[in-house]
Amino acid sequence: MGREVRRVPLDFDWPLGKVWEGFLLPERLREEPCPDCESGYSPHAEHLFNLWWGHLPFTPESNGSTSLRSDTPAVRAVAERNVAHAPAYYGAGEDAIAREAQRLANLWNGMWCYHLNQDDVDALVAADRLWDLTRTCRPGEGWKKTDPPVVPTAEQVNEWSLRGFGHDAINSGVVISARCEREGVDATCATCKGHATIQSYPGQRADAEAWEPTEPPKGAGWQLWETVSEGSPVSPVAASADALAEWMSNPERGRDWVPAETARQFVERGWAPSGVFSAQTGLVSGVEYVGWAESERRDRS
């Protein structure tokens, strides 16, 4: 967990583990969810979004694509890989591979994202979203557009999407918007203009953008805060740096316990990241890493 030391008044009594109120957007500035959409899409685009991810019944043929089969090479290849990775789960041998291949084919046949047509692909190319297929990565030069430019076929793109990470949320947005445009339908929700929330009063959005968090009050005390959430205190307020370090190195801290010297160096330094990986130490908690790095620095100087 990310940790930092804050100087707060000795009588600061904000509840431990509760995000400091000044760090949170006040209730009056929080917009209402849009009553007409989930994510800012128009009803038609929302429907397309559900087809994209297979949340609603979809067939490859409905988009001019062909159903995958258990012996489609890309399906078979992923099935072989899955079975080889987890034989305890899938079993072994041809039967297990065939079963997994059929499961994958059924799953992927129900999702638009694996069955693009050429219009969908053209939209992705226009948005420069298919680097694996339209660019070449050369050492020292990075990703350069293939010259002359290539437009991959729908078949190539669908095959590519099966073998790797596939399309991300940006690609789904590009394809859905392009299809809405071709069909002459608005892709964004008319009620909220795509925000997915509506203002409770005119100007609320601008007020929220202008809002700045308020720091907790400053004082003579020392307190440990976690920074994984917006920020909340996790230790009692200590009267001195040493007292806070002592609290941190008390064995009662259990999992969060750190050696006294580490704690003292951390308090001096004031903050630590969640976790740090280095060749010398492997993955250690941020507090430990800061303590370790400080001793190393002192040893050298």
Per CB under 5 A, residues contacting Zn ion are: 34, 36-37, 189, 191-192
Closest CB to Zn ion among residues 189, 276: 189
**Residue carrying the six token digits 């609290």:** 247
How far from chain centre, in Å, is Cα 29? 25
Cβ-proximal residues to 208 (8 Å cutoff; 6+ apart), any chain: 25, 29, 30, 31
The distance of closest approach from Cβ of residue 169 to Zn ion in the complex, given in angstroms and rounded to an integer, is 18
Closest CB to Zn ion among residues 177, 285: 177
Number of CB atoms found within 10 A of residue 135's CB: 16
Phi and psi at 271, nearest 5°, equal -160, 165
The distance of closest approach from Cβ of residue 44 to Zn ion in the complex, given in angstroms and rounded to an integer, is 13
Number of CB atoms found within 10 A of residue 230's CB: 14
Number of CB atoms found within 10 A of residue 262's CB: 24
Closest CB to Zn ion among residues 40, 286: 40
Closest CB to Zn ion among residues 5, 192: 192
Residue 9 C-beta-side C-alpha neighbours within 13 Å: 7
The distance of closest approach from Cβ of residue 6 to Zn ion in the complex, given in angstroms and rounded to an integer, is 40
Closest CB to Zn ion among residues 37, 51: 37
* C-alpha to C-alpha distance for 239 and 114, rounded to whole angstroms: 61
Residue 229 C-beta-side C-alpha neighbours within 13 Å: 14
The distance of closest approach from Cβ of residue 43 to Zn ion in the complex, given in angstroms and rounded to an integer, is 10
Closest CB to Zn ion among residues 130, 189: 189
The distance of closest approach from Cβ of residue 33 to Zn ion in the complex, given in angstroms and rounded to an integer, is 9
The distance of closest approach from Cβ of residue 186 to Zn ion in the complex, given in angstroms and rounded to an integer, is 11
User: In this structure, which long-range contacts are made by residues 85-88, counting pairs with CB atoms below 8 Å and at least 24 apart in sequence?
Assistant: none
The distance of closest approach from Cβ of residue 36 to Zn ion in the complex, given in angstroms and rounded to an integer, is 5
Closest CB to Zn ion among residues 24, 198: 198
Whether the CB-CB separation of 198 and 31 falls below 8 Å is answered with yes
**DSSP helix/strand/coil, 234:** coil
The distance of closest approach from Cβ of residue 172 to Zn ion in the complex, given in angstroms and rounded to an integer, is 18
Q: What is the dihedral of CA 215, 216, 218, 223, to 10 degrees?
A: -120
**Residue carrying the six token digits 């299809």:** 179
Closest CB to Zn ion among residues 180, 263: 180
**DSSP helix/strand/coil, 241:** helix
How far from chain centre, in Å, is Cα 216? 29
